[in-house]
Amino acid sequence: MTAQPPTQADIGAEMARARDAYAKAVADGAPVRHHPGRDYAPYRSSALRHPVRPLVAVADPGAAELSGPVFGVTDVTDLDHDLTRQHPGEPLGERITVTGRVLDRAGRPVRGQLVELWQANASGRYAHLRDRHPAPLDPNFTGVGRCLTDDRGAYTFTTVRPGAYPWRNHTNAWRPAHLHFSLFGNAFTQRLVTQMYFPGDPLFPHDPILQSVTDEAARQRLVAAYDHELSTPEWALGYRWDIVLDGPAATWAEEGRR
């Protein structure tokens, strides 16, 4: 006999328990938790893919991880930041500009570093063989972009707003629309892969990946702000999303890299 897949109500109850347990722990003096726990059970794929032993702390000032990879003009082409211009025709969907700054926790800009973005198309379908969601592929949209941050640590992408899409975590599971981001800081310890969400999405409370961040303020930091000043008349809507990279770096890297 096969176990029935959990319902949205089952997952919702698990997520509420995790939120309550976190709130109680913080009230009892536990530190604020900025990142998701790797053992967050409502996200079912985590079950066999998280370590059960505690991480081992490394405080060695000579650790190689306190430095990290660099990228440059050879790694990015001029059109990589514009996901709407990678094919002969225009992709379908709502054209958007997404911009923001990449900073370290001291507020210093991360300069000249690689930012990678990937996403589903406007219908909620990835250009990936294993995505079988019966929504149309768009021959004019791949959904991959790259850029280097400028001297202020700023990045900018032009793309289309992705659609929500179903997945199989539980019955009737849907991901809120999101952009995947990959970021490099001044050290390998500052590496970050994350997802940006769009403000006001009604799927937020139903999504165990977003809700894996049990701290409300931390969760809000994954949601971009609509910024009317960034919208381009007759062309695109603008969103602003700043990114702060966690983790230490060697002191020699503090002046930034080019």
Q: Which stretch binds another protein (CB under 8 A): 4-12, 152-160, 184-192, 229-237?
A: 184-192
Cβ 190 vs Cβ 116: under 8 Å: no
Told to check if 50 binds another protein by CB under 8 A, we report: yes
Compute the Cα dihedral for 249, 250, 251, 256 and give only its sign: negative
- Residue 159 pairs in a beta bridge with 96
Give the total of residues touching another protein (CB under 8 A): 84
Catalytic-role residue among 178, 197, 206, 239: 178
Q: Binding to another protein by residue 28, rule CB under 8 A?
A: no
Residue 5 interacts with another protein (CB under 8 A): yes or no: no
Pairing outcome for strands 237-240 and 95-104: parallel
Q: How would you classify the pairing of strands 237-240 and 243-245?
A: unpaired
**Residue 166 binds to another protein (criterion: CB under 8 A):** no
- Residue 136 interacting with another protein (CB under 8 A): no
Q: How many beta carbons lie within 10 A of that of residue 143, not counting itself?
A: 23
Could you say which of 18, 115, 147, 209 contacts another protein (CB under 8 A)? Answer: 209
For position 63 contacting another protein by CB under 8 A, the verdict is yes
Site map 94..113 versus another protein, x via CB under 8 A? ---------x-xxx------
Residue 173 structure tokens: 């599971």
Closest CB to another protein among residues 8, 67 = 67
Residue of the chain from 77, 202, 234, 251 that contacts another protein (CB under 8 A): 77
Q: Are strands 225-226 and 173-175 parallel, antiparallel or unpaired?
A: unpaired
Q: Is 167 in a helix, a strand, or coil?
A: strand
Name the pairing type of β-strands 95-104 and 243-245. Answer: parallel
Catalytic residue among 22, 43, 126, 239: 126
> Is the separation of the CB atoms in 161 and 239 below 8 Å?
no
152 is catalytic: no
Q: Is 69 in the site for another protein (CB under 8 A)?
A: yes
**Residues with a known catalytic role:** 126, 165, 175, 178, 180
